[in-house]
Structure 1
């Protein structure tokens, strides 16, 4: 599943459409193919520049580099890097990208999948593929697409590092974990990076990569903030969920089969690292659990999760938060109706799709507020009416007696004095405090103002 796009922010900011181009595009792949060695310490990570390009938006230009990162004893990692443009040091956001298909690496496996194109294909680059193995989805991604999605952070003068996990290329859990670690090692050496202000973001399998990247972070580049959307945090619990919990909830044979087919490629990668199911002879999950994360992660994470997520159950996030509530903070999207597991397809939950733009608003907002400078204007995107629609559901849950206290910190974050809320389709701006006050007044019938909404939220949401 692809990362939610933040491109819509770029479509209206200052009325300028963003464009990205390569300085040396290849006619066959539309990517950049100019090898260039970048001096670095060979004992940590060797960096090879494979190409370059630039994003043009809002009358400005942001250059990027296509990189090959090599750590001794590991497979190569690939990344698209937007170095900070300002003098001195700047914050950086690292985005984990497990599924994006890239065609500019020079590796045969990437050329093979690029030739196949978007769609469902045999998972035959994974070494344990065989009769009965399920296919996987492939989504080609160009440097231009990645550049557009980075714009929201680039406009704030942040650097952006996109690290590709290349699920389609095979490998295992450890390989993905190594890829993310290579990205952080690169940031430890890259010029102009404020290593005290590194943010990390990931969704689903990319959420796993973000959490475990933080667990492995070199001491000099521990991310200062993370956002994980529906992350896979505990692999032992995930294996148990698919093998035991799903059959206990789902009685329809066809739906059970859908689950098994979906998870089969993931289990091959999990077992390749852990040695089999938990408890089986020779298996080892000690580095792949919530307990491991709680004992190693120093980065404070915001986790967003739909309680009807059927791929990575919300119970796993609740268990992770319970291990260290100060380190892991969650906000849950609560469904109001009674759940019917036989009709829920394998996905991350209906509200993840319904409130996709709200998730962008909250996730981007959290990173930007935490990483931005003290006096820096912060532009957070939203789509007209979407936050109010989400809050209508929150109020309905509140009226049912549910705990919705996790919403208040997210709203308070948007009222930060630095925040300007940008409506994407119209390009209009208003202060975050005025935006939140208006939304609360529309949903709860309150009379908050820009001046008093922060103090008004301090006790919690209004009474329904």
Structure 2
């Protein structure tokens, strides 16, 4: 359940690519014991710096640290930390990184996977791997790449904490949840953190991690905003979907087999925590459902989801939103043709792929607007023509009588007086209100201006 990383379109703002350099990290060891519960009090987290480096861009430098975070009784967690540079306190964005392969921990499991390199490999670091187990994809990353992804936040004087879940290293649901909690515990004790302005961001399995990072956050560092892309929010419903709903929708044997092979590594990790299929007596999903999240999450989340997502069906997000609409705000990418489940591959949906640049623009825009200072210019990247192409699809859905009211709040967000839209293709800047007025006019044939766009859009989109 991978999702495209937040490719930093904003690099063109600087006219030069940022570079990062990392010192050789120290080796480390690890032991694993997971508790039955995830405490939400700050507790204790021991921090060991394994390495350091810096991001260099536009004549500026952002130092970072490679950290080992240890909570008593748990496996170690690894994170890359860009501490705030400004005096006083600054906003923080925590990035959940479930799949990124890191080679600087000193652990044998990371060295093993780094030696294998990018590709499909046996899932043999997971303790329940055996004959018939499906392989998994491995994607190595470096501190340089994480620095590039973090740049847009760093440029706004935010701190950034990337927390690595290391799916390839094995473990279970609780282990991943503990990793995210260790990151939040670290923020509870790190200096210069504005505890009232913490954001969390993740997609797919990383979306699950973002939701649970917020659910388990110590009271002193509950995130003020979250963004989750196609998140897995209910594991009981997900097992039911793969085991019973997919076979009812998909009749082609080859496609059914693709689903089963894809999800097999995930099921091993889910069952290691819950005890098995939710229909089996003795299993326990009480802490792994939408109802648990609705009762536990205090952070307002924006959730973006394609309604043809075949990995995590959109119905799961609709169910989560229905349980706590005051906490979870959805925006759906709506496909217009009739769906044919036999031809849809297991992925997060065609529109999420087609409009990935727009997904990045809306996600970053939401986080930056919510976390930015009152008088601070906020740079939101976009790629030329992508927002207009997406809005053309929105207008077509509107013409079919679809409910597209979830689009207007995202557009109004980009008309915030602080927002400056950065065209990553051309390197040009434009006030957010002027940009949105321009795109609405091009698609709906209206005559909005920078000064009228907010008032005109407030009641809803123009009539098609």
TM range (shorter): over 0.9
Instruction: Give the match for residue 239 of structure 2.
Output: 239
Instruction: Give the match for residue 92 of structure 2.
Output: 92
The answer on whether the counterparts of 1:306 and 1:332 sit within 8 Å (CA) in structure 2 is yes
- Partner deviation per Cα, 1:49-81 (whole Å, 9 max, x = no partner): 000000011211100000000000000000000
The answer on whether the counterparts of 2:49 and 2:66 sit within 8 Å (CA) in structure 1 is yes
> 1:4 and 2:5 equivalent?
yes
Determine helix, strand or coil for the equivalent of 1:78.
strand
Determine helix, strand or coil for the equivalent of 2:397.
helix
Q: What number of residue pairs does the alignment pair up? A: 450
- Aligned 1:108-127 pairs, distance under 5 A: 108-127=108-127
Shift of 1:7: 2.4
Instruction: Give the match for residue 438 of structure 1.
Output: 438
Tell me: CA distance 1:92–1:3, structure 2 relative to 1, closer, same or farther (3 Å).
farther
> 1:74 and 2:74 equivalent?
yes
Cα distance in 2 for partners of 1:54, 1:64 equals 5
Cα distance in 1 for partners of 2:310, 2:43 equals 42
Shift of 1:16: 2.1
- Partner deviation per Cα, 1:174-228 (whole Å, 9 max, x = no partner): 0000000000000000000001100000000000000011111100000000000
The answer on whether the counterparts of 1:379 and 1:422 sit within 8 Å (CA) in structure 2 is yes
Cα distance in 2 for partners of 1:3, 1:106 equals 27
Cα distance in 2 for partners of 1:353, 1:6 equals 13
- Partner deviation per Cα, 1:121-171 (whole Å, 9 max, x = no partner): 000000000000000000000110000010000000000000000000000
Instruction: Give the match for residue 36 of structure 2.
Output: none
- Aligned 1:47-446 pairs, distance under 5 A: 47-446=47-446
Normalising by structure 1, report the TM-score.
Answer: 0.96
Shift of 1:34: 8.3
Cα distance in 2 for partners of 1:383, 1:3 equals 16
Instruction: Give the match for residue 29 of structure 1.
Output: none
Normalising by structure 2, report the TM-score.
Answer: 0.96
CA-based RMSD of the aligned residues comes to 1.1
Shift of 1:280: 1.1
The answer on whether the counterparts of 1:2 and 1:100 sit within 8 Å (CA) in structure 2 is no
Determine helix, strand or coil for the equivalent of 2:120.
strand
Shift of 1:239: 0.4
Cα distance in 1 for partners of 2:309, 2:72 equals 38
Shift of 1:3: 4.1
Determine helix, strand or coil for the equivalent of 1:199.
strand
Cα distance in 1 for partners of 2:447, 2:59 equals 40
Cα distance in 1 for partners of 2:102, 2:16 equals 27
The answer on whether the counterparts of 2:65 and 2:82 sit within 8 Å (CA) in structure 1 is yes
Determine helix, strand or coil for the equivalent of 2:123.
coil
Unaligned runs of 5+ in 1: 26-31, 36-41
Shift of 1:43: 5.4
Cα distance in 2 for partners of 1:312, 1:91 equals 31
Shift of 1:2: 4.8
Determine helix, strand or coil for the equivalent of 2:404.
coil
Shift of 1:15: 1.1
Determine helix, strand or coil for the equivalent of 2:320.
helix
The answer on whether the counterparts of 1:13 and 1:58 sit within 8 Å (CA) in structure 2 is no
- Partner deviation per Cα, 1:381-416 (whole Å, 9 max, x = no partner): 000000000000000000000000000000000000
The answer on whether the counterparts of 2:43 and 2:185 sit within 8 Å (CA) in structure 1 is no
Instruction: Give the match for residue 38 of structure 1.
Output: none
Cα distance in 1 for partners of 2:399, 2:43 equals 58
Cα distance in 2 for partners of 1:350, 1:34 equals 42
The answer on whether the counterparts of 2:27 and 2:105 sit within 8 Å (CA) in structure 1 is no
Tell me: CA distance 1:85–1:243, structure 2 relative to 1, closer, same or farther (3 Å).
same
Shift of 1:326: 1.0
Determine helix, strand or coil for the equivalent of 2:240.
helix
The answer on whether the counterparts of 1:4 and 1:356 sit within 8 Å (CA) in structure 2 is no
The answer on whether the counterparts of 2:3 and 2:348 sit within 8 Å (CA) in structure 1 is no
Cα distance in 1 for partners of 2:163, 2:60 equals 24
| Larger relative contact order, structure 1 or 2 (CA cutoff 8 Å, min sep 6) | 2
The answer on whether the counterparts of 1:6 and 1:150 sit within 8 Å (CA) in structure 2 is no
The answer on whether the counterparts of 2:9 and 2:382 sit within 8 Å (CA) in structure 1 is no
Cα distance in 2 for partners of 1:243, 1:17 equals 46
Determine helix, strand or coil for the equivalent of 2:381.
strand
